[in-house]
Structure 1
Amino acid sequence: MMKKIKYEEKYRDDMIFMILEAKNALGRVPGLNEDLLDVRKNYLEVGDMFWLAIDDNDRVIGSIGYNSIKDTDEVWLHRLFVKYNLKRQGIGSALLETAEQYLRKQEKKIAKVHLGGKDWVESWTFYPKHGYVEYQERHMMKEL
């Protein structure tokens, strides 16, 4: 089983470890995104949100967050990761759906994602399956 929760500080290190492992499994040099060092400051305190997927052992198995785009009804989705050995089990889809439902309630109209390079193959196949379309090189969006 999996539960989706609002970010809690006690999961910070486990979340970072899960993301670094996921990047390593994709053949990338694991690097840390600076925003993850202080999720509370970079997401929650500015009025945005960040969720974690937690397994039965109280371990982080997925993440997603968003930042609002100033003076618009649009957001950037960030840090959608799933533990490398648990992919293709619906965790990423469940996290994305949680974020999209929340954004609709916040009256956000558009969710955008930056995909990185063409070697981010999983992102290039995942987001279109969920209704995202490319609107600019390496960027996709979905009307909520």
Structure 2
Amino acid sequence: MNKDWKYYLGIILISYSFLPFLVFAMLPFIDVDIAKSGTFAVIFLATGEVAFLSAAALLGKEFILLMKTRFMSIFKKTPSLKRISRTRHRIGVGLMIASLLPYYYVLFSEIFFLPLDHGILTGALILSELLFMTSMLTLGSQFWDRLKHLFDWPGAE
């Protein structure tokens, strides 16, 4: 793996993608209006997801496999490089789509001025982030490779 600007930017982005969880956990202890902190949390968590996807595209399949191997070594299980089944792919895509639903709920509520229950919303957004991370791990390295190729320019540089 070349340690060029893509590598360092990817490492920074993947580090940033976990920062919203820490800040989000501290929000109840900061003396800020609930509406403002809720809006901040939604936007900040969404930027974490975008940063995670961007880091995956920049770092590529090799780095993601290395991360997955290290994560799986915690459980003494090595990841397999075989293709995932159709059922596993459908579950992963379903988890990814489900992770987006709370954001659309917030958007819909803001557009039509519906009241938001911030306790339920907070739990839903945290669950959404966990579902997104789980979907990425469920979809496997072939999905990461296809995702990376979405951002490759087919022409000569």
Q: Which has the larger helix fraction?
A: 2
Q: TM-score, length-normalised on structure 2?
A: 0.24
The normalised TM-score by structure 1 is 0.26
- Structure with the larger RCO, 1 or 2 (CA within 8 Å, 6+ apart): 2
Choose between structure 1 and 2: higher strand proportion: 1
Q: Kindly name which structure, 1 or 2, has the bigger radius of gyration based on alpha carbons.
A: 2
